[in-house]
Amino acid sequence: MAKCAYCGTIILFGGKRDGELRFCGEKCWVQGLPLRRMQQVAGCFSDDAIQEHVALVHQGDCPLCHGPGPVDVHVSHRVWSGPKVIRLSDRRLVCCRSCAVKARLRDTAFSLWRGWRGIPRVPWLPLLQALRNLGGLLSLPHPAYPSDALVRLVRTNLASEFLLERNRENMSQLPAIRA
């Protein structure tokens, strides 16, 4: 089965292709621009350098609570329903296990409180999101090893920083425009 190159979700049908990469939709395709550019600059980073950056993030302090790591990518799910609107969302958090558990519990409570009121009524959506969060609690990433999602995120960030720096260098070489 194909997986989204940006978010890692399984793609059953459709998706968007860009060269050898496949994305689950337009949003991930847009967010994955640095990943697509990473193919162009792949030779600039050795596997050791990437693994070093991944280890620094994984063993670093939590960006949310500033507590000790390990830090990884965690996904929390929620649903909100209004009179004529139903909004499903997946929040990707880079944080420690404790913050991930709290976020999933908060989003579960939010979904059960605010997710059942939509028209048309879809009472199973809050339960679905609650089960997805429970499943996430039961399958947290192993604390000793960074997840594939964290490795993808670090690769994407390295490519973004590299491309940004290269663009700055190119812009500094342009002649100044005089008024």
Q: What is the DSSP string of 146-179?
A: --HHHHHHHHHHHHHHHHHHHHHHHHHTSPPPP-
Q: Which domain holds residue 140?
A: 61-152
| pTM, 2 dp | 0.69
- Assign 44 a pLDDT band (cuts: 50, 70, 90): low
> Do 141 and 79 have their domain in common?
yes
- Could you tell me if 40 and 117 lie in one domain? no
DSSP state of 140: P
Q: What is the mean pLDDT of the chain?
A: 81
| 90 shares a domain with 148 | yes
Percentage of the chain modeled with pLDDT above 90: 17
Q: How many domains does the chain have?
A: 2
| Tens-place pLDDT, residues 142-168 | 888 898 888 888 887 887 777 777 777
Check residue 71 and give its pLDDT: 93
Using pLDDT thresholds of 50, 70 and 90, give the confidence band for residue 103.
very high
Q: Do the Cβ atoms of 130 and 111 come closer than 8 Å? A: yes
Phi-psi region of 147 (alpha: psi -120 to 50; beta: other; left: phi over 0): beta
